[in-house]
Structure 1
Amino acid sequence: MADSYRLNMDFSQVACVLAGEQQWVTSPADGVSRIHLEREAAESGHTTSFVRFEPGSSFSAHSHPMGEEIYVLDGVFSDENGDYPAGSYLRNPPGSRHRPYTEQGCTLFVKLDQFQKADTQPVVLRPEEQHWQPGIGNLSVLPLHTYGTESTALVYWPANEVFQPHTHWGGEEIVVLEGRFIDEHGEYPAGSWLRSPHMSQHYPRVEEPTLILVKVGHLDNGTRE
């Protein structure tokens, strides 16, 4: 029966969910709904989702057996350890526990049970603690997390920027936060999610200012230590 819940779990394949094609699904917690992007089982295992908390909603206290990674898309997310406004990046390592809630409402991008075994460092980066750096060409890059081959960052593209053709060792996962990301395979407006497999290639560009959340090096078909 668990197989009926599986979604986009073949990491050798491209996966894409465009804005406007998404359907919010209610969760076991009142006022909390989700768009499933990757899912191994109904309420456990490897999961990637957009999660929306209505104002005043909360989720019961729970642990993260294999870790939780969060980027706050809008609103203010909170737990017993503090408040995290839009643009905050969190890593709750394996074995951590919290009780999340929100007063004004929020939307999150969440990845569950996807930590490397030895990656146990908690991370809390609010917007005021983040620092942009120059990237290739006219890009700007804001590093969020790096461990082994895996790296997560925000990347800002000015209007009409064209990036060099490149290959994704370990794959690439993108959430389009603002603007519209484009490559030879399609166009991805804000709110879209795109996953490209190990050793895939593309030639990306934009026509308008665009901000993306990018994770690379984490889809190498089980070859990581």
Structure 2
Amino acid sequence: MRINADFDKPVILHPEDMTWVPSPLPGVERKMLDRVGGEVARATSLVRYAPGSYFDPHVHSGGEEFIVVDGIFSDEHGDYPAGTYVRNPIGTGHKPHSKNGCTILVKLHQFDAADSKQFSLDIADLEFVDSGTPGVEFAWLHRFAGEEVKIVRWAPGSSYPEHVHQGGSESYILEGSLADEFGEYPAGTWERTPPGWTHAPFSEKGCLAWTKTGHLTSDKLGKFVA
């Protein structure tokens, strides 16, 4: 299966562009954002758990990274409410479930083999720092070998100068709305742009976004997009 598998092209998916499809487990649905492979795949997805649903125990052969968008996600290691960011490196495993339902944005099979730190962070506990541009601040989630994952917060009326994402970029709008010269991206929008993409983003009403950069170069994509 190949969904948005040309990583040389930008992809923008607004909430109304995405369709929930059943997973192999009852009560668990997915919006497949990009995918290369079958049930085991290099994949980026929104996954929605109905109350009381679960996924079978499994091992992350390529690693797993996710952020809880709403509700509470759980496994045998703990409960992760909305705003929690989790990294489960290659070789880790769990049995996920949700008592009352939840939605997560999850990325699978995209870990560097040497990136072995397992952890979770609550966005509410993070320290935001000034980006150097008035009204735009960010908090670090993870950094490794050129990959950078952040939460970026935009004050109403703020803007960021035109810049280039040399290693590609990806973002998911958690709250508010972001825009650039190519369009407007309300909460629930996912976008991915290739290395060398240039834009000048701004937010009229304010925005909170999960962002990842530096992970879409040919050497990092490697075998996952063959």
Query: Matches of residues 148-187 of structure 1 in structure 2 within 5 Å?
Result: 148-187=145-184
Alignment partners' CA distance in 2, 1:104 and 1:85: 11
Alignment partners' CA distance in 2, 1:136 and 1:19: 31
Choose from 102, 109, 126 the match for 2:98: 102
Choose from 32, 41, 65 the match for 1:36: 32
- Gap runs ≥5 in structure 2: none
Alignment partners' CA distance in 2, 1:224 and 1:6: 14
- Gap runs ≥5 in structure 1: none
Alignment partners' CA distance in 2, 1:55 and 1:221: 40
Maintained 8 Å contact 2:63/2:91: yes
Deviates more, 1:184-193 or 1:123-132: 123-132
- Three-state SS of the structure 2 residue aligned to 1:222 is helix
Query: Displacement, 1:129?
Result: 3.9
Alignment partners' CA distance in 2, 1:130 and 1:103: 26
Name the structure 1 match of 2:210.
213
The structure with more strand, counted as a fraction of residues: 2
Query: Displacement, 1:223?
Result: 5.8
Aligned positions, number = 221
Alignment partners' CA distance in 2, 1:10 and 1:20: 22
Query: Displacement, 1:210?
Result: 0.6
Scaled by the length of structure 1, what TM-score is found?
0.95
Maintained 8 Å contact 1:11/1:221: no
- Three-state SS of the structure 2 residue aligned to 1:20 is helix
Matched, 1:195 2:215: no
Query: Displacement, 1:63?
Result: 0.7
Name the structure 2 match of 1:55.
51
Alignment partners' CA distance in 2, 1:199 and 1:127: 29
Maintained 8 Å contact 1:67/1:92: yes
Maintained 8 Å contact 2:178/2:206: no
Aligned amino acid, residue 220 of structure 1: T
Query: Displacement, 1:128?
Result: 4.9
Matched, 1:12 2:8: yes
Alignment partners' CA distance in 1, 2:40 and 2:137: 36
Matched, 1:126 2:122: yes
% identity of equivalent residues:
41
Alignment partners' CA distance in 1, 2:167 and 2:43: 18
- Three-state SS of the structure 2 residue aligned to 1:117 is coil
Maintained 8 Å contact 2:136/2:159: no
Query: Displacement, 1:117?
Result: 1.7
Scaled by the length of structure 2, what TM-score is found?
0.94
